[in-house]
Structure 1
Amino acid sequence: MPFEGFDDKRLIDAKAPRRDFLKYLGFSTAAATLAASCKIPVRKAIPYANKPENLIPGVAKYYATTYVQDGDVIPVVAKVRDGRPIKIEGNELCSFTGGGTSARSQASVLDLYDMFRLKFPQQKAKDGSFQEVPTFEQFDKLVGDAIAGLNGTSVVLLTETIVSPTSKQIISEFLAKYPGSKHVQYDAVSYSGMLLANEASGFGRKLPSYKFDAAKVIVSLGADFLGTWLSPVEFARAYSKGRKIDEKNPQMSKHYQFESFLSMTGSCADERFTHRPSETASVALALLAALDGTVTAPAIADAKLKQGIAKVAADLKANSGATLVVSRSNDMNVQVIVNAINNAIGANGKTIDWSVPVNYRQGIDKDMEDLIAQMEGGQVGALLIHNANPAYSYYNADKFKSALKKVRLSVSFSSKMDE
């Protein structure tokens, strides 16, 4: 400020012309007026008139729950503050995950705050637009009346894999009211070939438990068991146990990976061999032939791949009973070969436990194909869809959408307007 006569000794004695004083006074007044004219949003703090029992504002509570989506089942702990879930973490008391979680389970808490979630049911009008149904009671009556007017045609419930025994019981009781109705389970990522191969091999239509921590030699035929295959959270924890060196017993599991593209699991392998996607069955059969002399080995043109198969077979033989072979293929024939390999190396009952099956995936591809054929033929009167979106994820989505138009009543229980 240009005060006249100001020096560094005495600020109190500095002299300012009247013009400068009025200038700065006017500026200060204008600035204060401008600041006062900017309205700041009012944020009201509303206290609890009737505070819930055992709740202290700002102090978080933790609840054990389970993340279930598309067949994935992960025990988690939800951090809740003032009645609102804000964070998901793994449950450290879980015996098979040990507190691990996946990216999907971590992000699942955001679904609770999705602004695009439907607040009320929607009904499709004749012009193709969707109109809001005011209450759920009215919606229930609309659906009930529509089902009652089907004149005996079947009701089909199309869902993701259901792992809850209680939910299956409710579904059975519901479908029992409508003769000829059925429940179809559909998995966007199908393991149908594996289920059917296990049934053909005499183990039943089920998936076994895999003990990666008990295997000294692990061979994966394209299965990304640390990233996406079946239960990666569970498998990663078990796999890590065999990869840690104990000073008293300095040994580590050996991991071989055969695949046609780089995966997270492949990047962690000790030795990785690449091949064309069309050669998956040949690699599996060549490995079985190296273990069982009664099987004829197919021709393998790649010399490096052929040497890798021979090396892996020798390692599997040397560690019989402590080995494991898994495959990503959804081809039933390939999975039958893999079952034969595991039988030859003594994995059943050791690193593969058929007595404790898992229910992560139960969908059969043929069931979905038969359903679409029935929809096209007008044999399905009502299709109720829960936690499945085949109009987006099915390999022939256009065929499904075309068949859906021939169903008299279709109800989607999706929380938002998807396909």
Structure 2
Amino acid sequence: MHAKVREGRVIKLEGNPESPINQGRLCSRGQAALQGLYNPDRVTDPMARGANGQWQKLTWDDAVGRLQAQVKQARGKGIAFVTGLESGSFGELVDAWMKEIGGRHVTYEPFAFEALREGNRIAFGTAAIPSYDFASARYILSFGADFMETWLSPVGYQNAFTRAHAFEAGRDGSMAKFVYVGPRLSLTGMSADEWIVPKPGTEFMLALAMASVILTERLAPPPPDALRLQHLLPGPERIAGSVGVEAGKIQRLARDFAASKGGLAVAGGIAAQYGSGALLVAAANVLNYVAGQVGKTVKFGPNHALEAAGSFKQLADLVADMRAEKISLLLVHGANPGHSLPAAFSEALGHVGYKVSLASYWDETAAAADLVLPDFHPLEQWNDSRPQAGVYALQQPVMQPVFPNTRHAGDVLLQVAGKSGGFKDYVQTRWRALHVRYGHGRSFEDFWNDALQHGGIYSEAPAQTVRLGPEISRLMGGAADTSLQLTTLRGSRSFPIRSRKSPGTAGWRCIPTPRPSGSSPTAMSCSSSRPMERCVRPSGSRQVSARTSSRSPRGRDTRRTADMRRTDPSMPSSS
């Protein structure tokens, strides 16, 4: 981004027109960043919780000394560092320091798009998140992905969608068509040319049926490895009743999608929050693949940095270790799990020996810490990031710190680790490797100054060829044995089930499973077109009910109830 400075103070922010990510645009949160910079409630000094529970100010030498002592004492007893997604030098510094002292680095993103990553892994064997070329698309099909709101890179996608969905001089043909598929009309859906309303949780069936039409009618040259799916994919007539969309409409959507020669199907949002969320993403991948659009509008290679985001399971494992008093020292930076996670995390904090928060604000996690070290605001610090493969963004301070006794978290970690130099020196050291690749004979000083002027280095990442993976049979209900995994911050349990295709549907059907010796009788009595929708547990265990409602196109309220009962009464309840 660009910052307008007057008399040493930032007064306006705008996007960097040279950045391939936002191309000069800036979202409302970016525009409002000045509110955080000048927030009078920022943490202004190092603070420690006294013996009486009251906060007291510290000098930086005292604060760093306390942290060094705690690190020395906690070695071998469990050290963990929780950060947000750090795709640049700071993340590498945390990784290196944790490796040196025997700790672990846990990346926590409240919106980590795990269903998107898992769906890509199921379809193509890679959890990478590709680049979606909305600008070149001629037919955009969104299965709940709110790409104009919060999905992945909304600023870039809004700009690209505007170019695709408008008449421009020199562009052949008409504007791209946008079809939104979802039971709820979101803000993104309101910009669509057509709204398809399926039953909640059945969107993946619609995507598979469209892929079936394209393969059966040879509407696009199919990749050789996609032909094996032809007799496994459900046809429109087979799933029309389950989805709530007429077979003729499904056929029309498939034919239009293939005929556009530039189709783009994306999946996410609320639609990816069902139990079939990963299957929906994989089904959208299959649709793009059989239409020949993987490598064109869906490009693996220039992948999003979110592929490196952590998983909920990693955080659940950390909480379990905290509750078991296996974590002696916990550090948190760039994340507020005390607010965004269930109460189990806050409860587990009480079992941690010492807690340190490197934060700019008194958020819920900082308020529960024993030591709070005030961090710079992003507009006050040196840093870098890699938001997409091939893009290396460089960040410099645009003004002096508003509160002079704050300090960059990178400088603090380097001092605690006993390293010489500051975080700017550390960033420059990492960029010397980029100088070798992109310097083109210039001195490092010229290369560095040029990168500062342009906001980074922008290169093209090489394309990555993907093929259908072996797990794609899960989409067709072809697995003979599978399990339902339930993970919360209080524990994880896998429920074994057998599955078979239900006559006339494309979904799963839960049937009785052989019970282990000595266990209670199992009675799983569900038959549904939605994957794993109703599973009944043995007698004596607790029942958890979830109800979702949607409004049908005719205005009637349709309600579906899913009852899931645990097969292990000893498993702790979740909040």
TM-score for the superposition, normalised by structure 2:
0.56
The alignment status of 1:399 with 2:344, answered yes or no, reads yes
Q: Structure 1 residues 146, 346: closer, same or farther in 2, change over 3 A?
A: same
Q: 1:132 aligns with which of 39, 42, 56?
A: 56
Q: 1:388 aligns with which of 331, 335, 352?
A: 335
User: Which residue pairs with 2:155 in the alignment?
Assistant: 233
Given that 1:275 and 1:305 are in contact with CA atoms closer than 8 Å, whether structure 2 keeps it comes out as no
Given that 1:203 and 1:354 are in contact with CA atoms closer than 8 Å, whether structure 2 keeps it comes out as no
The residue type paired with residue 183 of structure 1 is H
Measure, in 2, the Cα distance between the counterparts of 1:78 and 1:364.
34
Q: Structure 1 residues 102, 306: closer, same or farther in 2, change over 3 A?
A: farther
- The alignment-based identity, stated in percent, is 27
Following superposition, the deviation at residue 127 of structure 1 comes to: 4.0
The alignment status of 1:157 with 2:81, answered yes or no, reads yes
- Give the SS at the match of 2:124: coil
Given that 1:257 and 1:269 are in contact with CA atoms closer than 8 Å, whether structure 2 keeps it comes out as yes
Question: Where does 1:92-103 land on structure 2 (aligned, <5 Å)?
Answer: 92-103=17-28
Following superposition, the deviation at residue 319 of structure 1 comes to: 2.7
- Give the SS at the match of 1:143: helix
Q: Structure 1 residues 196, 264: closer, same or farther in 2, change over 3 A?
A: same
Q: Structure 1 residues 140, 213: closer, same or farther in 2, change over 3 A?
A: same
Measure, in 2, the Cα distance between the counterparts of 1:212 and 1:245.
15
Q: 1:326 aligns with which of 256, 260, 266?
A: 266
Given that 1:191 and 1:363 are in contact with CA atoms closer than 8 Å, whether structure 2 keeps it comes out as no
| Residues 89-114 of structure 1 deviation map (CA, whole Å, 9 limit, x = unaligned) | 11222234221110000001111110
Gaps of 5+ in 1: 1-75
Measure, in 2, the Cα distance between the counterparts of 1:357 and 1:217.
22
- Give the SS at the match of 1:239: helix
| Residues 362-398 of structure 1 deviation map (CA, whole Å, 9 limit, x = unaligned) | 232221111112212222222111111111112xx20
Question: Where does 1:67-86 land on structure 2 (aligned, <5 Å)?
Answer: 76-86=1-11
User: Which residue pairs with 1:263 in the alignment?
Assistant: 186
Q: Structure 1 residues 305, 160: closer, same or farther in 2, change over 3 A?
A: farther
Following superposition, the deviation at residue 247 of structure 1 comes to: 5.5
Following superposition, the deviation at residue 178 of structure 1 comes to: 1.6
Measure, in 1, the Cα distance between the counterparts of 2:244 and 2:27.
38
Q: 1:354 aligns with which of 300, 304, 310?
A: 300
Given that 2:48 and 2:58 are in contact with CA atoms closer than 8 Å, whether structure 1 keeps it comes out as no
Q: 1:107 aligns with which of 25, 28, 32?
A: 32
Measure, in 1, the Cα distance between the counterparts of 2:314 and 2:205.
28
User: Which residue pairs with 2:104 in the alignment?
Assistant: 182
Q: Structure 1 residues 168, 416: closer, same or farther in 2, change over 3 A?
A: closer
Measure, in 2, the Cα distance between the counterparts of 1:282 and 1:364.
26
How many residues are matched?
A: 338
User: Which residue pairs with 1:314 in the alignment?
Assistant: 255
The residue type paired with residue 286 of structure 2 is A
User: Which residue pairs with 1:281 in the alignment?
Assistant: 204
Q: Structure 1 residues 315, 250: closer, same or farther in 2, change over 3 A?
A: closer
Measure, in 1, the Cα distance between the counterparts of 2:289 and 2:336.
37
Q: Structure 1 residues 122, 289: closer, same or farther in 2, change over 3 A?
A: farther
Q: Structure 1 residues 306, 100: closer, same or farther in 2, change over 3 A?
A: farther
User: Which residue pairs with 2:286 in the alignment?
Assistant: 340
Following superposition, the deviation at residue 266 of structure 1 comes to: 0.5
Given that 1:273 and 1:305 are in contact with CA atoms closer than 8 Å, whether structure 2 keeps it comes out as no
- Give the SS at the match of 1:201: helix
Measure, in 2, the Cα distance between the counterparts of 1:201 and 1:299.
21
- Give the SS at the match of 2:66: helix
Measure, in 2, the Cα distance between the counterparts of 1:400 and 1:413.
18
Measure, in 1, the Cα distance between the counterparts of 2:295 and 2:260.
15
Question: Where does 1:284-303 land on structure 2 (aligned, <5 Å)?
Answer: 284-292=207-215, 293-294=230-231, 295-297=233-235, 299-301=239-241, 303=244
TM-align CA RMSD: 2.0
Q: 2:175 aligns with which of 252, 256, 268?
A: 252
Measure, in 1, the Cα distance between the counterparts of 2:13 and 2:247.
46
The alignment status of 1:205 with 2:108, answered yes or no, reads no
Measure, in 1, the Cα distance between the counterparts of 2:96 and 2:244.
59
- Give the SS at the match of 1:284: helix
TM-score for the superposition, normalised by structure 1:
0.76
- Give the SS at the match of 1:194: helix
The residue type paired with residue 216 of structure 1 is R
Given that 2:50 and 2:56 are in contact with CA atoms closer than 8 Å, whether structure 1 keeps it comes out as no
User: Which residue pairs with 1:87 in the alignment?
Assistant: 12
Radius of gyration: which is bigger?
1
| Residues 284-312 of structure 1 deviation map (CA, whole Å, 9 limit, x = unaligned) | 33334434442125634365465543322
- Give the SS at the match of 2:96: helix
Measure, in 2, the Cα distance between the counterparts of 1:275 and 1:126.
59
The residue type paired with residue 252 of structure 2 is K
Gaps of 5+ in 2: 216-229, 365-575
The alignment status of 1:366 with 2:289, answered yes or no, reads no
Following superposition, the deviation at residue 226 of structure 1 comes to: 1.1
The alignment status of 1:172 with 2:117, answered yes or no, reads no
- Give the SS at the match of 1:380: coil
Q: Structure 1 residues 346, 122: closer, same or farther in 2, change over 3 A?
A: same
After TM superposition, the structure 1 stretch with the greater mean CA deviation from structure 2, 379-388 or 301-310, is 301-310
Measure, in 2, the Cα distance between the counterparts of 1:305 and 1:363.
40
Q: Structure 1 residues 283, 375: closer, same or farther in 2, change over 3 A?
A: farther
User: Which residue pairs with 1:141 in the alignment?
Assistant: 65
Following superposition, the deviation at residue 254 of structure 1 comes to: 0.9
- Give the SS at the match of 2:181: strand
Given that 1:281 and 1:334 are in contact with CA atoms closer than 8 Å, whether structure 2 keeps it comes out as yes
